[in-house]
Structure 1
Amino acid sequence: MAKDIRVLLYYKYVPIENAEKFAADHLAFCKSIGLKGRILVADEGINGTVSGDYETTQKYMDYVHSLPGMEDLWFKIDEENEQAFKKMFVRYKKEIVHLGLEDNDFDNDINPLETTGAYLSPKEFKEALLDEDTVVLDTRNDYEYDLGHFRGAIRPDIRNFRELPQWVRDNKEKFMDKRVVVYCTGGVRCEKFSGWMVREGYKDVGQLHGGIATYGKDPEVQGELWDGKMYVFDERISVDINHVDPVVIGKDWFDGTPCERYVNCGNPECNRRILTSEENEDKYLRGCSHECRVHSRNRYVAENDLSQAEVMERLAAIGESLETLVAQ
């Protein structure tokens, strides 16, 4: 069956004058052609994922390529059966990638147009994966890594990207005298983070050009040495990368069985992304911990209109009780 929806993943570091007005104008255009998606606009550039039919996405790409400084912007294109977004958002932010530098020191931020790591093609990156003297570092959030990652890549002990610089500083003995290559979904985070590593004094820093998304489409490597699926920030949740020898590496949060289905913890104050089957989601009330399961605002309980007796029954089945409710 023909796939008539295209999903566009893209970014570009380019100075944007009056970025707040640019964002407003950009949103108006996107809505005028019926595009759906999520776009961040900052003084330092633009970063987005959008979806629509062929005609709509072509109009959008032509529009972006007509904008000053964006004539060569690189769109990574997926073909899908359904829309990847329900609405259209364009937001202005201070940065399109927040590196977590001390005290939000934007003046001391990394400018990838001036400092960034060496670009590696998919073939060169695959060679780096096989090189015992090269350290491969995943720069994404923990839940992205847990769903899929390159074989042998280091998983930093962090919850999100903002924590990565400090983690590297705390573990610099692992990297300082070695070649380091980094990767992320589409390349936008690595542009800035590899530049930060260069500024920190690392001598040989590389990055996967175009990110995992490009690696999976390369006709030569065909996604080989990638395990699991790639997490994406839209309705699809995940996409296939390895077309040679794919394997499932995601593990159910509750019982450790193979799983590639993500949900958010039912406790809105936690909201942790967890892998779990529908069966275990029901069994554990979509709560990643006892505290989240019994939280007074548990969304799973509300969505399924469960009575207190029903909640107590499910908790008893897993050896827990409703003895303590967490206050709002």
Structure 2
Amino acid sequence: MHSGPILNISCYLFVSLDDTAALRERLHARAASLGLKGTVLIAEEGINLFLAGPADAVRAWVDELRADGRFAALTPKESWSETQPFQRLKVKVKAEIIRMNQPTVRPDRAPRAAALAPATLARWLGQGHDDEGRQVVMLDTRNGFEVDHGAFDGAIDWRLHKFSDFPAALAAHRDELAGKTVVSYCTGGIRCEKAAMVLAEQGLHAWQLDGGILKYFEETGGPHYHGGCFVFDEREALAPDLSPRK
């Protein structure tokens, strides 16, 4: 069951791209022709997108993108709204699809960081430990103002101003995480995927929440989470049922 005529999608994929400029032109032209609005970021490390429009148009754009084998694994997260939450369409080529300023951290060139399914996380939080008996700590990799809209109960919040602050914050707090099962999380998964790589490189027992908060909401209904999830569009924040939070 959904509410509203506008389909909103968000997804990302770390995949090596060597034709970013040409890809930008193609994706922009097709999205514009379908009347879509939102933001698509392209870099050598992959793609990150937030788009909205009539469902048929959005899904047609995604289907054409997936026809390129590099993007076959894209799995958009969906939500609905009564009105278009974006003002314009932007398709940009960037140095990183999520900026960390750590050139050696390239998820497109390395095995994916360990990913934890939302249902497993909900079970771990309910029982108070992981399946090996270790304490589970939730590490929020979002900016402080996003955390203020809602977060996992008892989550660690380093009050980041931007994601590129994460490596320095980790260096200052690494010892506090030793011996624990650390689950990094963010809105849709992109930040916590990079973060989990860095955590693992530091010798920590780390996971990323697969698909982020939005997938957790979709698959579990949001237990052990309080408040809403901030999103970067005019809806501002989503409730655990993925409706705009009042």
CA distance in 2, matches of 1:55, 1:195: 36
CA distance in 2, matches of 1:242, 1:36: 23
Paired residue secondary structure (2:184): strand
CA distance in 2, matches of 1:85, 1:40: 15
The alpha-carbon deviation at position 157 of structure 1 amounts to 3.2
CA distance in 2, matches of 1:109, 1:118: 15
- 1:138-287 correspondence runs (5 A): 138-202=140-204, 204-218=205-219, 221-241=220-240
TM-score w.r.t. length of structure 1: 0.68
Counterpart of 1:18 in structure 2 is 19
CA distance in 2, matches of 1:69, 1:225: 36
1:122 aligns with 2:118: yes
CA distance in 2, matches of 1:44, 1:73: 14
The alpha-carbon deviation at position 51 of structure 1 amounts to 0.2
CA distance in 2, matches of 1:134, 1:184: 16
The alpha-carbon deviation at position 241 of structure 1 amounts to 1.5
TM-score w.r.t. length of structure 2: 0.90
CA distance in 1, matches of 2:197, 2:225: 24
Cα deviation digits, residues 134-154 of structure 1 (max 9, x gap): 121000000000111011111
Counterpart of 2:38 in structure 1 is 37
Decide which structure has greater strand share. 2
Q: C-alpha root-mean-square deviation of aligned residues, in Å?
A: 1.9
Percent identical? 30
Cα deviation digits, residues 25-76 of structure 1 (max 9, x gap): 2111111111111110001100010000122112111111112311121011
The alpha-carbon deviation at position 116 of structure 1 amounts to 3.9
1:94 aligns with 2:90: no
Paired residue secondary structure (1:20): helix
CA distance in 2, matches of 1:26, 1:165: 32
CA distance in 2, matches of 1:165, 1:110: 14
CA distance in 2, matches of 1:112, 1:195: 12
Q: For this pair of structures, how many residues does the alignment match?
A: 237
Could you tell me which runs of 5 or more consecutive residues in structure 1 were left unpaired when the two chains were aligned.
Answer: 244-259, 262-328
CA distance in 1, matches of 2:192, 2:155: 15
The alpha-carbon deviation at position 160 of structure 1 amounts to 1.8
Could you tell me which runs of 5 or more consecutive residues in structure 2 were left unpaired when the two chains were aligned.
Answer: 130-134
Cα deviation digits, residues 249-299 of structure 1 (max 9, x gap): xxxxxxxxxxx89xxxxxxxxxxxxxxxxxxxxxxxxxxxxxxxxxxxxxx
Cα deviation digits, residues 202-249 of structure 1 (max 9, x gap): 1x211111110011111xx31111111100011111110169xxxxxx
Higher RCO structure, 1 or 2 (CA under 8 Å, sep 6+): 2
Cα deviation digits, residues 84-104 of structure 1 (max 9, x gap): 211100000011011133xxx
Paired residue secondary structure (2:69): coil
Paired residue secondary structure (2:49): strand
